[in-house]
C-alpha cells in the first residue's frame, strides 16, 4: 500500500467547482506539506538495525547552529567485537576495553614513548559531526584528549595501519589534528593541518583537568572546522581547501584516559539559530 494521499479526491469533496483558484492552490500545497511532513517524521524515527551502525536522522546544536545529522556510528565499546571497528597504534601505553570504556593507560611509558592513536576503521564523508564522551583519570599526567580527522595516505589512498604511534609519524600525511590538553602542563587547544603541521587556530585559555568528564564536538561542514568542549565553542575557522574525507582517530599522549562513547554522523544540512 502506498503511503500517499489522493489530493484530487479530497479537493473535489471539500470544494465546489466554483471555489477560487487561489484557495484550491493553497489547499493543495498544505496537503502536500502534511504528506511530506509525515514521511519525514517516519524517516527520522527509523530504528537502528541492531548493530553499532545506525541510519537515524536527528539534529544536533553546536555553537549556535542546528545541524541535521544522519548518524553512521554509535560506538559504546560494550561489545566484544570492538576491535573489528578500531585499530590501535601505540608506542608503550596499553589499550583495553572494560565496562564499556576504551581505557588508555601509560603502562610505564616515558614522555618519549607515550603516544597512542586508536583509528576508526571506516572512511568518513567530507561533511561530518563527531561527538566523543571522554574522561581523564586522577593523577599527574597530561590529561591529553586529541583527535585526528580525515586522515589518509600522502597519495590520497585510504590510511594504512602499522605506524608506531609516535606523533611525528602523522605529520607527513593529510589530516587535521585537534589537541586539547592540560594536566601537568599549562594547557591549550590547537587545530593543525597536515602534512606540514600547519597551525590553523590556537586557544591558550582552556585546559583539561584530571578526574573530569568531557563531551567533545568536532564539526567539518563545507570547509568550516569547529571544535567545542562541553557546549563551549573553542575553534571556528574556514579551510579554503578542506580535506575530502578520511579516517578518524582518538589520540592521546602520556595520559590515562577513558573514551566511553563515539558518535559519528554525516551532516546533511544546517540552520543558524
For residues 191-208, average pLDDT: 98
What does the block give as the cell for 90? 601505540
CA 173 – CA 160 distance, rounded (Å):
11
Cα–chain-centroid distance for residue 81?
Answer: 21
Q: Name the architecture of domain 57-272.
A: Sandwich (2.60)
pLDDT of the residue at 228? 98
CA 197 – CA 240 distance, rounded (Å):
17
Kindly tell me if the per-residue pLDDT of 3 is higher than 90.
no
End-to-end CA distance of the chain: 39
pLDDT of the residue at 36? 39
Going by pLDDT thresholds of 50, 70 and 90, the confidence category of residue 53 is low
pTM, two decimals, is 0.80
Give the whole-number percent of the chain exceeding pLDDT 90: 78
Least confident of 42-51, 172-181, 222-231, 254-263: 42-51
User: Cα 249–224–126 angle (5° rounding)?
Assistant: 50
Q: Which phi and psi (to 5°) does residue 220 adopt?
A: -130, 115
Residue spans per domain, the chain: 7-44, 57-272
pLDDT tens-digit readout, 68-114: 999 999 999 999 999 999 999 999 999 999 999 999 999 999 999 99
Kindly tell me if the per-residue pLDDT of 5 is higher than 70.
no
Helix residue ranges, H only, the chain = 7-14, 21-44
CB 226 within 8 A of CB 101: no
Amino acid at each position: 500500500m502506498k503511503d500517499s494521499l489522493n489530493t484530487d479526491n479530497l479537493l473535489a469533496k471539500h470544494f465546489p467547482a466554483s471555489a477560487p483558484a487561489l484557495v484550491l492552490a493553497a489547499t493543495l500545497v498544505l496537503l502536500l506539506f502534511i504528506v511530506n511532513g509525515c514521511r519525514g517524521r517516519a524517516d527520522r524515527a527509523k530504528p537502528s538495525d541492531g548493530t553499532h551502525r545506525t541510519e537515524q536522522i536527528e539534529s544536533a546544536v553546536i555553537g549556535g547552529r542546528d545541524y541535521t545529522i544522519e548518524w553512521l556510528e554509535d560506538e559504546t565499546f560494550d561489545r566484544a567485537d570492538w576491535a573489528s571497528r578500531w585499530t590501535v597504534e601505540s608506542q608503550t601505553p596499553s589499550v583495553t576495553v572494560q565496562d564499556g570504556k576504551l581505557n588508555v593507560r601509560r603502562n610505564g611509558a616515558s614522555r618519549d614513548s607515550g603516544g597512542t592513536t586508536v583509528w576508526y576503521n571506516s572512511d568518513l564523508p567530507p561533511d561530518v559531526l563527531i561527538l566523543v564522551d571522554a574522561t581523564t583519570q586522577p593523577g599527574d599526567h597530561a590529561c591529553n584528549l586529541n583527535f585526528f580527522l580525515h586522515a589518509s595516505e600522502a597519495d590520497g589512498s585510504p590510511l594504512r595501519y602499522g605506524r608506531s604511534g609516535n606523533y611525528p609519524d602523522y605529520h607527513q600525511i593529510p589530516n587535521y589534528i585537534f589537541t586539547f590538553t592540560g594536566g601537568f602542563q599549562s594547557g591549550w587547544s590547537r587545530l593543525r593541518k597536515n602534512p606540514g603541521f600547519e597551525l590553523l587556530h590556537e586557544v591558550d585559555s582552556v585546559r583539561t583537568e584530571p578526574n573530569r568528564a568531557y563531551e567533545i564536538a568536532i564539526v567539518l561542514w563545507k570547509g568550516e572546522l569547529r571544535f567545542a568542549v562541553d557546549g563551549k565553542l573553542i575553534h571556528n575557522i574556514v579551510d579554503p581547501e578542506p580535506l575530502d574525507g578520511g579516517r578518524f582517530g582518538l589520540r592521546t599522549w602520556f595520559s590515562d584516559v577513558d573514551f566511553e562513547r563515539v558518535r559519528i554522523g554525516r551532516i546533511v544540512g544546517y540552520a543558524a539559530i
